[in-house]
Amino acid sequence: MKYSGFYLYQVADILFTSSCRALAMLVAWLMINQYHQPVSLGWLITLSWLSQIMVLIGLSFISSRMDKKTTLVLCSLVGCLGLVGLSLSAEWGIAHLAALFLLTSVLSIIIQPIGNSIVPELFRGADLQSAFQVRGLINSINMVLGAAISGLVIHIFTTAQLLWILSVSVAGALLIFSGLKLKPSLNQEKSTFSATAAIRALIGNRLERRIVCIAALANFILTPTLFYITPIIVVEHYQGSAMLLGLAEAMFGLGMLCGGVCISRLNTLLSVRLNSVSSLILVAVGLGMVLMLPYLIGLLLGLAITGLGTVMFNINTNKIRCSATPEKLRNAFESIYLALCLIPIPFGLSLATLLVQSNHLSLTLAGFSVLIFGAAIMLYRSKYFQHIANLNDAELHECYPKLFANAYMKLT
């Protein structure tokens, strides 16, 4: 099968990432419904994202010297051992589950940049739009499967049985990663560029500077909304079950799935630029629906529309960034870009936690919606985005050094 390595990687990614997502939802459900500690959950999720940011920043300094396959195998092996170890333990409580959640969240974020950075390598000479469309679909599948698996299994099985199911899933990812054959880079020169070069490139790249600000703002808003505010709304406002919580979060993933399927047609119909801007407007509208519609259907439709807009924006900007960035800088750039995108998340979670304590959820969502709409205007006004969104794959390939020569001068 052509590009079999790429598709095998996607299967392993689904098994690993959706398992981590399911574990996160299990912890959220238990802390809200069984232990009645929503505020403690907020601080736990904040600690999780802080840990992920610190790891990503550290990785950006060594990513160019890291072997991708070794990283994938080690992360899945550690995750599998953690899940099996807790499953075999005779006595464990919410503190042990919380610790395992922190571990798997870090392992998941280590793997995440690899999924984007290897696309141009595995799809050389092929349609990159299709490749990144597949990546967008995988992200949405992870959201749907993680939520659906945990919602259904929490409803049917015990926590111990769920841990065994997740152990088997991660073990499957480990086997696939171990047998994966990644193509060597065409550039035989050992890359020595890491975080310093990536930061210098990002500072001098006016387009990516703006996009990373928008992505950081989106993460500041969407992460607390999806992982913290939504479980509280479902459990405390609608008195929902684990199945309903799984459905609510799966609706976000279902919206992502729809966006991944229809993005090519919408890019052709509207243009990449207008579709990307419209995607941010959809996110703002979705958050507004969660706020303004008083019924459960408003929450579900709002999350689906938010997911739809999120994935289309991510697919378009990921394709531009990974294609236009020089290959020898790509790994470090992806790590530092992702780290900068994630830095606002703990602050967003802290703000949401404090507002939940003061019973200001509606104010939180209203402010989030307005900020995303402002981000859409920021992207629309970018002349660099207007130019680069019109380039074809051949013109887009490693074009950033040509557009922003000073930022990439030491790479040429």
Write down all domains in the chain, each with its CATH number in brackets: 1-190 (1.20.1250.20), 193-411 (1.20.1250.20)
pLDDT in the model for residue 16: 92
Residue 249: CB partners within 8 Å, gap ≥ 6? 25, 143, 146, 147, 151, 226, 230, 303
Q: Which residue has the tokens 């609510």?
A: 248
Rounded mean pLDDT for each run of 10 residues along the chain, 412 residues in total: 76 89 86 84 88 82 74 94 90 88 92 75 63 71 65 76 91 92 53 70 92 91 82 79 78 86 91 95 90 80 92 90 85 81 86 77 77 92 92 88 85 57
Helices (H), strands (E): how many in the chain? 19, 0
∠ CA 217-267-283, rounded to 5°: 30
Helix, strand, coil share of the chain (percent; to 5): 85, 0, 15
pTM above 0.85, yes or no: no
Distance between CA atoms of residues 409 and 267, nearest Å: 32
Distance between CA atoms of residues 139 and 137, nearest Å: 5
Residue 32, phi then psi, degrees to nearest 5: -85, -50
Note every long-range contact of 404-409, with CB atoms under 8 Å and residues 24 or more positions apart, other chains counting: 404/201, 404/204, 404/205, 404/206, 406/204, 407/200, 407/201, 407/202, 407/203, 407/204, 407/205, 408/201, 408/204, 408/326, 408/329
pLDDT in the model for residue 128: 64
pLDDT in the model for residue 312: 93
Cβ neighbours, 10 Å, residue 383? 9
pLDDT in the model for residue 120: 64
